[in-house]
């Protein structure tokens, strides 16, 4: 069996391992009985003693499997899911917390990005200008002019590649079109900035929520970890397991959050145009990375604490 | 058997010994343990807790191939045989072992005062 077959057909690998070791034990028993190294009625026991602990040998054989880490990872995830199922309210709070944080933040950021930060959706937005008609002597500064004036300017165009007019708006001073758009959006920019601030706050709050929920959940399972330690689990193993299982609700929350983003952005994009879906995906990914980091960072101290527990104390005091 | 008559295997030599025994033809775990014991005149005794993880590791690396075949007991047993990759590895380990053993022997048994 190759390593991936062993991973996929674990039951068969286990059966073969058991059969192989038992075959050895049987041969050893026969040897002891035949050579007279042990009395016939005691051969089996002597062979078993000489052979050593079947389960320990099996465990050592499992440890040399190349996909062992993957195997353990899968088992931790499965176990983590069962723990989540056992405490549905915890699961709900953790997931709701994160999906709100990720969803709202990504949506708000992608909209404010399109409105505030990104250049206009034209090929060379910095070359777009608005033409003003100014006359300081007569205190004139406007962008309106008659059709005859437009046709006149349009016919003698030399500085620009094109000139267009629109209702309800003539030419001696020049301002970048971008500035004008920005001015005209000023009344909408301000709320958007506030909105973005609140979104950032939302992410921080959800991070705080993740931290609380993760450390609480680990503290609740002190006894379980104590028993595992007493049974011989290594602190390293428990640490890895605690971290993986803390990431589980985080991952679920982020996934839900991303789904919420798509919907929220559609609602918010009525406030603005030019929202790029591909860009949105990048943003979502970035917004989802943060909670995962937060979950890892906040789970780490708690996980270390449970992994370095003294099993005796935990079992005695509960 | 007095414990003093047994020697601990130097790190990494078990792999070479297993490859060498298996090179003689398909053989199961029990057979390998027995041959190691008899060939070394009872000096080398490998615990099952060492032998089987080593066998499985060599199998995972592709140096040994395993096959379940009917055996003399009537039950199927897992027979190991050397792969081409395993044969190359064996030659490599044999050479490096010979180099090391030669060096150690000359240090231990070399005539005194021959040092440069």
- Asked if A18 and B78 count as a contact pair (C-beta separation under 8 A), the reply is no
pLDDT at B99: 93
**With contacts defined as CB-CB under 8 Å, which chain B residues touch A64?**
53, 56-57, 60
Q: Collapse the DSSP code of A131 into the 3-class scheme (helix H, G, I; strand E, B; otherwise coil) and give the result.
A: strand
pLDDT at B27: 93
Q: How confident is the model at residue A170 (pLDDT cuts 50, 70, 90)?
A: very low
Q: What number is the average pLDDT over the span A26-54?
A: 85
- Out of A51-60, A108-117, A215-224, B90-99, least confident range: A108-117
Model confidence, pTM: 0.57
Question: What are the tokens at A135?
Answer: 């006359």
Report the share of chain A in percent with pLDDT over 90.
4
Q: Is B35 in the A-facing interface, judged by CB distances under 8 Å? A: no
Q: Is B38 in the A-facing interface, judged by CB distances under 8 Å? A: no
Residue B22 to residues A58, B3, B66, B90, Cα–Cα distance (Å): 22, 27, 11, 10
Q: What number is the average pLDDT over the span A45-61?
A: 88
ipTM above 0.90, yes or no: no
CB contact under 8 A, B30 and A27: yes
Phi then psi dihedrals of residue A192, to 5 deg: -65, -40
pLDDT at A172: 47
Most A CBs within 10 Å: which of B50, B52, B77, as the mutation test of the A interface?
A: B52
**With contacts defined as CB-CB under 8 Å, which chain B residues touch A16?**
68, 78
Its sign, for the CA torsion B23, A22, A33, A39, is: positive
CB contact under 8 A, B29 and A56: no
pLDDT at A188: 57
Residue B44 to residues A35, A269, B33, B94, Cα–Cα distance (Å): 20, 77, 9, 18
- Asked if A60 and A52 count as a contact pair (C-beta separation under 8 A), the reply is no
Question: What are the tokens at A169?
Answer: 């708006």
The pLDDT tens digits of the residues spanning A288-297 come to: 777 678 777 7
Q: Is B67 in the A-facing interface, judged by CB distances under 8 Å? A: no
Q: What number is the average pLDDT over the span A126-138?
A: 73
pLDDT at B1: 40
- Out of A75-79, A232-236, A302-306, B109-113, least confident range: B109-113
Q: Residue B27: count other Cβ atoms within 10 Å of its Cβ.
A: 18
Kindly list the strands in the beta sheet with A140-142, ordered across the sheet, starting from the edge strand earlier in the chain: A140-142, A129-135, A173-176
A83 CB burial (10 A radius; 0-12, 13-18, 19+): middle
The pLDDT tens digits of the residues spanning B8-50 come to: 677 678 899 999 999 999 999 999 999 988 888 878 778 888 8
Q: How confident is the model at residue B52 (pLDDT cuts 50, 70, 90)?
A: very high
Q: Is A23 in the B-facing interface, judged by CB distances under 8 Å? A: yes
Choose among B81, B79, B50, B44: nearest CA to B63.
B81
**With contacts defined as CB-CB under 8 Å, which chain A residues touch B60?**
3, 64-66
Question: What are the tokens at A227?
Answer: 């028993």
How far away is chain B from the Cα of A298, in angstroms, using its nearest Cα? 37
CB contact under 8 A, B60 and A57: no
Residue B4 has pLDDT above 50, yes or no: no
The pLDDT tens digits of the residues spanning A91-105 come to: 887 788 777 777 777
pLDDT at A39: 78
Residue A125 has pLDDT above 60, yes or no: yes
Q: Residue A184: count other Cβ atoms within 10 Å of its Cβ.
A: 10
Kindly list the strands in the beta sheet with B64-70, ordered across the sheet, starting from the edge strand earlier in the chain: B27-28, B76-82, B64-70
- Dihedral (Cα; A22, A24, A25, A30), 10-degree rounding: 130
Residue A15 has pLDDT above 80, yes or no: yes
Q: How confident is the model at residue A278 (pLDDT cuts 50, 70, 90)?
A: low
A246 CB burial (10 A radius; 0-12, 13-18, 19+): buried
B25 Cβ partners below 8 Å, 6+ apart?
B81
Q: Is B56 in the A-facing interface, judged by CB distances under 8 Å? A: yes
pLDDT at A7: 64
Residue A276 has pLDDT above 50, yes or no: yes
CA separation for the pair A16, A6 (Å, rounded): 10
Phi then psi dihedrals of residue B80, to 5 deg: -100, 140
CB contact under 8 A, A27 and B48: no
Residue B88 has pLDDT above 60, yes or no: yes
CB contact under 8 A, A24 and B29: yes
pLDDT at A119: 56
Buried b / exposed e over A252-291, threshold 16 CB at 10 Å, is: bbbebbbebbeebbeebbeebeebeeeebeebbeebbebb
**With contacts defined as CB-CB under 8 Å, which chain A residues touch B80?**
none
Q: Is A40 in the B-facing interface, judged by CB distances under 8 Å? A: no
Q: What number is the average pLDDT over the span B57-84?
A: 90
CB contact under 8 A, A24 and B48: yes
Q: Is B36 in the A-facing interface, judged by CB distances under 8 Å? A: no
- Out of A93-102, A229-238, B107-116, least confident range: B107-116
CA separation for the pair A264, A199 (Å, rounded): 13
């Amino acid at each position: 069996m190759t390593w991936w077959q062993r991973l996929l057909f674990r039951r068969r690998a286990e059966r073969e391992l058991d059969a192989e070791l038992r075959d050895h034990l049987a041969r050893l028993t026969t040897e002891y009985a035949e050579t007279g190294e042990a009395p016939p009625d005691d051969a089996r026991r002597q062979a078993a003693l000489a052979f050593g602990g079947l389960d320990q040998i099996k465990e050592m054989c499992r440890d040399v499997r190349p996909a062992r880490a993957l195997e353990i990872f899968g088992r931790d995830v499965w176990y983590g899911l069962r723990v989540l199922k056992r405490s549905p309210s915890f699961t709900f709070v953790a997931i709701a917390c994160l999906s709100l944080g990720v969803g709202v933040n990504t949506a708000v950021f992608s909209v404010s990005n399109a409105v505030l930060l990104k250049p206009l959706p034209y090929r060379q937005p910095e070359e777009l200008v608005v033409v003003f008609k100014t006359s300081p002597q007569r205190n004139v500064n406007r962008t309106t002019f008659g059709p005859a004036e437009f046709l006149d300017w349009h016919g003698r165009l030399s500085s620009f590649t094109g000139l267009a007019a629109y209702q309800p708006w003539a030419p001696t001073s020049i301002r970048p079109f971008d500035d004008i758009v920005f001015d005209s959006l000023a009344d909408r920019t301000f709320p958007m900035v506030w909105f973005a601030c609140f979104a950032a706050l939302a992410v921080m709050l959800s991070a705080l929520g993740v931290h609380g929920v993760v450390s609480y959940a680990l503290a609740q399972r002190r006894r379980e970890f104590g028993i595992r330690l007493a049974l011989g689990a290594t602190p390293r193993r428990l640490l890895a397991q605690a971290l993986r299982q803390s990431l589980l609700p985080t991952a679920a929350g982020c996934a839900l959050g991303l789904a919420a983003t798509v919907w929220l952005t559609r609602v918010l994009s009525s406030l603005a145009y030019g929202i790029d879906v591909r860009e949105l995906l990048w943003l979502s990914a970035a917004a989802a990375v943060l909670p995962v980091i937060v979950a890892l960072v906040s789970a780490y101290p708690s996980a270390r604490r449970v992994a370095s527990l003294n099993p005796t104390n935990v079992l005695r005091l509960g | 058997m007095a414990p003093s008559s047994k020697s601990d295997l130097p790190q990494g030599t078990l792999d070479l010994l297993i490859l060498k025994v298996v090179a003689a033809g398909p053989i199961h775990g029990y057979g390998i343990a027995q041959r190691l014991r008899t060939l070394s005149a009872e000096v080398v005794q490998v615990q099952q807790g060492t032998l089987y993880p080593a066998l499985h590791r060599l199998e995972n690396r592709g140096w040994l191939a395993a096959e379940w075949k009917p055996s003399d007991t009537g039950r199927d047993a897992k027979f190991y045989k050397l792969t081409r990759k395993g044969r190359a590895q064996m030659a490599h380990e044999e050479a490096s072992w010979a180099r090391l053993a030669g060096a150690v022997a000359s240090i231990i048994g070399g005539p005194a005062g021959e040092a440069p």
